[in-house]
Amino acid sequence: MTDSAFAVVRAGALTTVQDLGRAGHAHLGVPRSGALDLPAHRLANRLVGNPERAATLETTLTGCALRVRRAVTAAVTGAACAVTVDGRPAPWGAAFRVPAGAVLEVGPAIHGVRGYLAFGGGIDVEPVLGSRATDLLSGLGPAPLADGAVLRLGAAHGPPPAVDAAAGAGPAPELVLPVLLGPRDDWFTARGLRTLATGDFRVSAASNRIGLRTEGPALERARDGELPSEGMVLGALQVPPAGRPVLFLADHPTTGGYPVVGVVPEPWLAAAAQAVPGTPLRFVPRRPYGR
C-alpha cells in the first residue's frame, strides 16, 4: 500500500466516505447518497484546498481516530468536537498539518451529530456510478470504516486558502423545518394537518442516514389503505401507518407506498442531519405557489 494512505485506529460508531453523491440514478433505484450536511462537507474541503467534489469522512456522534502515513493538511467541520494530533490539541473548523505517522483523533460530538474530516487530496477510493459515497441503503460505494482498514489519499490539489478559521454554530434548542404540502396531503384530515403544524414532535434515536424519524402525535388519516409505489424525493415527509412522519435524507429509498404529506426543501436538511435525538421539532407547513 502506498504511503499516501491512512490506517483506521478507531472507526467510531459509523464513519463513512462521502462526497456530493451520485445524482441522476433514481430510475435505477439508486438514491443520491452523499454527505448529509453538504455545507459542512464543502467547507471542510475548502479549508484544505480541495474542490467540493472531493471525498471526506463523515463521522457519527463518537468521531474516529486515524494514523496517516504521510504528512497531510486536514480540517474538521460539522458537529463541534475536540480534535487532537498525537494527543495535542488541534483546531476545529480550521486547516492544520498532521505529520507522517501521527494519529489524528476526532473526538465525540459536543453538539450536533455528524462531523466531516477532509484531507488535502481527498479520500481516493474507487468511484461507483460517478461517486465515492457510501450508500447504506443500496450498499454501493466503500464499506463503513472498520478498525485496521487502510484507505488511500489523493494527491493534494493546491495550498489551502488564506482562511484562519470557520465560524461554528452552537446547539440549536429546536429544529424548525418548513414543509411544502403535497402531493398526498389530501390523505390526511384537517385535524391531521393541524397536528403537523402544532404537534409536539421530537427527533427519534431511531434516525439514520436513510431518514429522520420522529416521536410525537400521529397524523390522522382521511382514508385507509396504501398507495401503489411512487417516486420519492430527497426531503419527502412520508407518513407510515403509525402516523408519525419520517423525513427522507440522502440514503432514502427512491420509491414508496406510504403517503407523502409534504416535502422539506433541501437547504433545511443539513440542520436535520445535525439534530441530536430528543431535539424538539416543529414543522411549518405551507401550500406551494399555485395550489
pLDDT tens readout for residues 226-268: 899 999 999 999 999 999 999 999 999 999 999 999 999 999 9
Cβ 14 vs Cβ 113: under 8 Å: no
pLDDT in tens, 37-46: 999 999 999 9
Phi (first) and psi of residue 162, to 5 degrees: -80, 70
Q: Which of 74-78, 261-265, 287-291 has the lowest mean pLDDT?
A: 287-291
Phi (first) and psi of residue 158, to 5 degrees: 165, 175
Partners of residue 207 on adjacent β-strands: none
Residue type, 11: A
Domains of the chain are: 5-152 (no CATH), 175-286 (2.40.100.10)
Q: Which of 82, 130, 72 is nearest to 107 (CA)?
A: 82
Residues near 285 by Cβ (< 8 Å), separated by ≥ 6? 178, 179, 180, 181, 193, 196, 197, 262
Mean pLDDT across the stretch 103-124?
A: 97
- What is the pLDDT confidence band of residue 158, given thresholds at 50, 70 and 90? confident
- What is the pLDDT confidence band of residue 121, given thresholds at 50, 70 and 90? very high
The pLDDT, as a whole number, for residue 1 is 47
**Sequential DSSP letters for 99-159:** -TTPEEEEEEEEEEEEEEEEETT-B----BTTB----TTT--SSPPP-TT-EEEBPPP-SP
**Whole-model pTM?**
0.95
Q: Residues 8, 14, 15, CA angle at the centre, nearest 5°?
A: 50
Judged against a pLDDT cut of 90, whether residue 161 lies above it is answered with no
User: CA–CA separation, 92 vs 81, rounded Å?
Assistant: 7
For cell 450498499, name the residue: 139
Cβ 147 vs Cβ 8: under 8 Å: yes
